[in-house]
């Protein structure tokens, strides 16, 4: 992926409980096939051509920084955003980063820190660059381990994206990797809490959210089912 497309990595939200663990741990520190999940995540990003990463750390997750450091072990340029008392929400954090860490980047990506995307990010980026859309969402047609279908696609665009149970017929599952043009976020006020679902649903309603269908399942390790599926993938890879 071009150096002009840095990637924001959310650290996965609250600590999770997995079978066999003595206590809840941050998603990025969950041991999968002998390595912390962030090892798998960052190595994959580097192998896919990503050069710059901004890791968003929640409360109590500073230990991730101690492991990743400046990113050199992963051949990445890593910066950090520490969630403070302002509690801006995922959308508010992205909006703030566009004024600090990413102010000179016209295009940027976002990775849900609990997801592992098994797809060629360079192809995804090139598809987005060739379009005139404001955003892109990766989707998989069908079920993913530990996830419910939450998305509909029509004419290569996201036509519906639901964050709660819906009566709509939803055939796709969102895969945890997004791309945006910076101008799509400028309408949102700075230092105001909001969730990333807000711009996603608005862009979908406006016909501005491109759908990129991946051929292979993504993995969400925030669930026991998803973690086991990813571990099996790692051992078979």
Per residue of the chain (237 residues), what is the pLDDT tens digit? 544 589 999 976 555 655 455 667 777 888 889 998 989 999 999 999 999 999 998 766 777 888 888 899 899 999 999 887 778 999 999 999 999 999 999 999 999 888 999 999 999 999 999 999 999 999 999 989 988 899 999 999 999 998 766 566 789 999 999 999 999 999 999 999 999 999 999 999 999 999 999 999 999 988 889 989 999 999 987
Range of the domain at 183: 7-11+25-236
**Is residue 127 situated within a structural domain?**
yes
* Helix 197-205 vs helix 89-97: crossing angle, to nearest 10: 80
Helix %, strand %, coil % for the chain, to 5? 30, 25, 45
The CATH number given to whatever domain includes residue 139 is: 3.90.550.10
CB atoms within 10 A of CB 119: 19
**Is residue 88 situated within a structural domain?**
yes
Distance CA 70, CA 68 (A): 6
Predicted pLDDT at 93: 95
Contact between 50 and 66 (Cβ < 8 Å) = no
Q: What is the pTM of this model?
A: 0.92
**Is residue 232 situated within a structural domain?**
yes
Q: How far is CA 97 from the centre of its chain?
A: 15
**Is residue 16 situated within a structural domain?**
no
**Is residue 20 situated within a structural domain?**
no
Contact between 94 and 186 (Cβ < 8 Å) = no
Phi, psi of 93, deg, nearest 5: -65, -45
**Is residue 1 situated within a structural domain?**
no
Q: How many domains does the chain have?
A: 1
**Is residue 19 situated within a structural domain?**
no
Burial of residue 15, with CB atoms counted within 10 A of its CB: 0-12 exposed, 13-18 middle, 19 or more buried: middle
Kindly provide the residue ranges of all beta strands, DSSP E only, lying in 146-194, ordered along the sequence: 151-154, 157-161, 172-181
Predicted pLDDT at 68: 87
Phi, psi of 199, deg, nearest 5: -65, -35
Contact between 195 and 143 (Cβ < 8 Å) = no
**Is residue 227 situated within a structural domain?**
yes
Contact between 139 and 214 (Cβ < 8 Å) = yes
Q: How far is CA 147 from the centre of its chain?
A: 15
Total residues found in the chain within this entry: 237
First vs last Cα of the chain: how many Å apart?
22
Predicted pLDDT at 27: 79
């Amino acid at each position: 992926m071009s150096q002009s497309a840095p990637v924001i990595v959310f650290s996965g939200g609250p600590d999770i409980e997995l079978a066999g663990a003595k206590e809840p741990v941050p998603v990025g520190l969950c041991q999968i096939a002998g390595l912390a999940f962030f090892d798998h995540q960052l190595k994959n990003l580097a192998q896919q051509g990503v050069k710059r990463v901004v890791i968003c750390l929640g409360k109590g997750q500073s230990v991730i920084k101690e492991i990743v450091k400046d990113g050199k072990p992963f051949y990445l340029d890593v910066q950090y955003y520490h969630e403070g008392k302002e509690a801006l929400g995922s959308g508010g954090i992205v909006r703030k980063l566009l004024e600090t860490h990413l102010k000179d980047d016209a295009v940027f990506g976002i990775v849900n820190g609990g997801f592992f995307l098994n797809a060629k990010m360079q192809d995804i980026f090139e598809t987005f660059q060739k379009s005139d859309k404001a955003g892109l969402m990766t989707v998989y047609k069908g079920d993913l381990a530990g996830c419910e279908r939450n998305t509909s696609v029509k004419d290569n665009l996201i036509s519906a994206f639901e964050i709660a149970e819906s009566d709509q017929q939803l055939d796709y599952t969102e895969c945890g990797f997004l791309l945006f043009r910076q101008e799509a976020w400028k309408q949102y006020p700075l230092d105001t809490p909001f969730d990333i679902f807000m711009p996603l649903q608005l862009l979908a309603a406006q016909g501005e959210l491109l759908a990129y269908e991946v051929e292979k399942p993504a993995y969400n390790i925030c669930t026991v089912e998803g973690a086991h599926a990813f571990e099996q993938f790692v051992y078979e890879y």
